[in-house]
């Protein structure tokens, strides 16, 4: 996995160099400053691709109207690293502490002890990223189920909101959440990629839904686009995130042509600094406009209500 990450980092570095050397120079965004006050609830700023230009990335995020960023913890060592990173910018950075289902095979009793320490940090606002991923299966089902249930118990003990990962594991996710429903703290299904019916069930359980740029490539008849258009995901249960450097919002998708034409020039200009190779928090400006279009709401209302949800659930000041 380390080799894969190193290769990805090199590819991203090459892409960033090409962005400045290519035939299509990036737009001048120096005069842009949106006032959305957005909260990016899921951003992997601990990723190696952000190490060389983090300040520039944060400047663009600020121009896109991003007011707060939650940095997600993938495992014990990664959670420790972002704990330190989050201390560097109080009021802007917060972090989550947990073990991603991909890393479940490494889970042991010492893991619980280390995560417990991190959950006590004042700028740790959620337990996770934890959950189940039956799509890629980097850890077995049994390993994932044990790892997830132990973290559920921990979140209930610490009364920390849950930052949940679920991919093609809806039934087991519902079963385990229901088992602890009486003690369960507030929770969000981060980077939701499921069906409208699955979203409806999660919402009926009191959960929030986190949406990323995935919604731009949703090709299903009953996925996130359908759920937004038909208000199956209501504004009072919605949060927004980039999952950067992943989940690029491809506004160049032919099916989004009408949305792109109506999108603000500021959001489009900022969005050019994100790509399939490396998504950035500044993509929040485009994501909020795409969501507003599907819901038939103003961008201002979507920005305000989703940010309010995030601040309320995670106690962001």
Name the helix (H) or strand (E) containing 213.
none
Spatial contact of 224 and 233, defined as CB atoms under 8 Å apart: yes
Going by the DSSP 8-state scheme, the letter that residue 150 receives in this structure is H
Q: Give the residue numbers of the binding site.
A: 129, 165, 190, 243
Query: Which residue's entry shows tokens 């560097």?
Result: 88
Cis bond upstream, residue 245 (ω within 30): yes
Q: Round to the nearest angstrom and report the end-to-end CA distance of the chain.
A: 36
Number of CB atoms found within 10 A of residue 210's CB: 22
Distance, CA of 166 to CA of 135 (rounded, Å)? 9
Task: Please enumerate, by residue number, every residue annotated as part of a binding site for a divalent metal cation.
Answer: 129, 165, 190, 243
Counting every residue written for the chain, the total comes to 317
Question: What is the distance between the alpha carbons of residues 57 and 111, in angstroms, rounded to a whole number?
Answer: 32
Sign of the CA dihedral with 255 first, then 257, 262, and 264 last: positive
Q: Where are the alpha helices (DSSP H) in the chain?
A: 2-21, 54-63, 76-87, 109-119, 141-158, 170-179, 196-204, 224-229, 257-262, 265-271, 284-295, 299-314
Closest to 287 measured CA to CA, from 12, 44, 6, 42 = 42
CB under 8 Å to 104, separation ≥6 — which residues? Answer: 139, 140, 143, 144, 146, 147, 148
């Amino acid at each position: 996995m380390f080799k894969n990450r190193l290769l990805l980092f090199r590819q991203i570095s090459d892409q960033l160099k090409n962005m400045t050397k290519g035939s299509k120079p990036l737009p001048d965004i120096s005069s842009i400053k949106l006032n959305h006050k957005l909260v990016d609830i899921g951003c992997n700023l601990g990723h190696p691709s952000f190490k060389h230009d983090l300040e520039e990335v944060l400047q663009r995020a600020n121009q896109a109207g991003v007011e707060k960023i939650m940095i997600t913890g993938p495992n014990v060592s990664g959670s420790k690293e972002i704990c330190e990173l989050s201390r560097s910018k109080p009021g802007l950075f917060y972090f989550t502490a947990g073990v991603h289902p991909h890393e479940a095979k490494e889970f042991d009793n010492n893991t619980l002890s280390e995560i417990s320490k991190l959950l006590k940090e004042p700028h740790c606002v959620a337990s996770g990223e934890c959950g189940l991923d039956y799509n890629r299966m980097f850890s077995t089902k049994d390993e994932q189920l044990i790892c997830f249930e132990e973290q559920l118990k921990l979140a209930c003990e610490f009364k920390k909101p849950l930052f949940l990962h679920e991919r093609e594991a809806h039934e087991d996710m519902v079963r385990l959440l229901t088992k602890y429903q009486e003690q369960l703290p507030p929770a969000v299904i981060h980077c939701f990629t499921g069906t409208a019916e699955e979203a409806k069930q999660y919402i009926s359980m009191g959960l929030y839904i986190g949406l990323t740029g995935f919604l731009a490539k949703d090709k299903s008849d009953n996925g996130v686009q359908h759920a937004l258009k038909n208000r199956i995901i209501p504004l009072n249960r919605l949060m927004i995130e980039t999952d950067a450097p992943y989940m690029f919002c491809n506004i160049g998708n032919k099916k989004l042509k009408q949305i792109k034409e109506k999108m603000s020039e500021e959001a489009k200009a900022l969005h050019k600094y994100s790509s399939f190779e490396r998504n950035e928090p500044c993509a929040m400006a485009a994501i909020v406009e795409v969501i507003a279009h599907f819901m038939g709401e103003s961008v201002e209302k979507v920005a305000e209500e989703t940010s309010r949800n995030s601040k309320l659930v995670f106690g962001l000041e």
